[in-house]
Amino acid sequence: MLQAFMKNSCISNLLPNLRKFGRYGIILLFIVFSQIGLAEEDTSRNALAVYLPDYRVKSGQEVPQLHGTSDLILFSAKPGEEGDGGVDFSRITPALLSFAEKARASAPDLRVSVCVGGWGRGKEFARAVSSPENRERFVVDLAAFCAEHQLDGVDIDWEFPKGDEEHAHFALFLESLSARLHRDGRQLTAALGYTRPLSRECWTYLDRVHLMSYQPWSVQPYEPWLRESIERFLAAGLPPEKLLLGVGFYAKEKAGERRAVSWKRLVEENSPGLPASDHGFWPVGTETCDLRVRLVKEYGLGGVMVWDYGHDSPEPETSLLRYLTSGLRQAAGPE
């Protein structure tokens, strides 16, 4: 009986079909809608998004160890040098796409997006979004690439638009890209600097914001800085459930050369640890993960974003991805 009901449980058919099941109809209807509600809630909270740079995957033989990651972001394509809206996808290599396919094979619910831009890869953004014709080509190229490779969305990482005109053009581009991707059943996200919220209208176009809150750029108390970063975006009108709080899987020197040391190196056998520094290093490890999980729960945020996969330990016992997955599940409460 339940299988027959589920087979015919499209919304338009529910009420007419209730008569077939007599007094069980209302009970079954309640169960179905309860499960639908739970599914929608689960997909909107406590995401774990992880960036995978092209230089982390070389042989094509790498085995994904994503430990419950919800979103894998392939980093990165960039606006073409011609500045006409065309996209250079040369860094989204066959090996990178193969890694994503293998990851999906073991985790069918994994969402895979392509990132455009990033530090040093966005100098042509301003020209690429400067006219309706350029924006249209930009959108078409991204939508076609997603369709060709069966990707789930696009992540935009423009570092950084300047002035009112570039911000206005960026908003128009996000509007057009959002409409196309959402029409195709795909998502649109953006990586943003922790001092750089967008206009309120842009939040309606984006499914999520990946806050690049890895470490402060100046020496200051760590947790207050992180809270201020969150509150800056919430005050700018971003719904908290759309905000993913970024964490870096590396220690960063607070000043001077600003050297970085990956978590993977710090926990490997015979690791020398952090180098000597007159300035000290910003923290990395389970405590920085715990802090973000706690703030996700406190502020009602959408989850955590990680830079990047290659900094994590390949050993499950010391993997921060594995640790974060466990923490986010506990923060979400009982299933």
Divide the 335 residues of the chain into consecutive groups of 10 and give the mean pLDDT of each group.
33 42 46 36 70 93 95 98 96 97 96 96 96 98 98 98 97 98 98 97 98 97 98 98 98 97 97 97 98 98 98 97 96 75
| 159 to 15, 41, 287: CA distances (angstroms) | 52, 32, 28
CA distance 85 to 209: 23
CA distance 306 to 18: 47
* Alpha helix positions (H), the chain: 2-7, 11-18, 24-44, 94-106, 125-128, 132-149, 163-183, 200-205, 222-235, 263-267, 286-299, 320-332
The pLDDT value given to residue 59: 85
| 135 to 122, 199, 240, 325: CA distances (angstroms) | 15, 19, 29, 37
CA distance 138 to 154: 12
What is the edge-to-edge ordering of all strands in the sheet holding 281-282? 260-262, 250-253, 281-282
Q: Are 124 and 79 in contact (CB under 8 A)?
A: yes
Q: How many alpha carbons lie under 13 Å from residue 67 in its C-beta half-sphere?
A: 22
CA distance 9 to 15: 9
Report pLDDT digits (tens) over 49-100. 999 999 999 888 899 999 999 999 999 999 999 999 999 999 999 999 999 9
| 94 to 61, 98, 200, 321: CA distances (angstroms) | 11, 6, 37, 24
The pLDDT value given to residue 332: 86
Written as six digits, the tokens of 242 are 């759309």
**Residues paired with residue 208 on neighbouring β-strands, in sequence order:** 189
Q: How far apart are the first and last CA of the chain?
A: 26
Q: How much is the pTM?
A: 0.86
Report pLDDT digits (tens) over 283-318. 999 999 999 999 999 999 999 999 999 999 999 999
In order of their start, the domains of the chain are: 45-332 (3.20.20.80)
CA distance 123 to 3: 55
Where on the phi/psi map is residue 250: left (φ > 0), alpha (ψ -120 to 50), or beta? beta
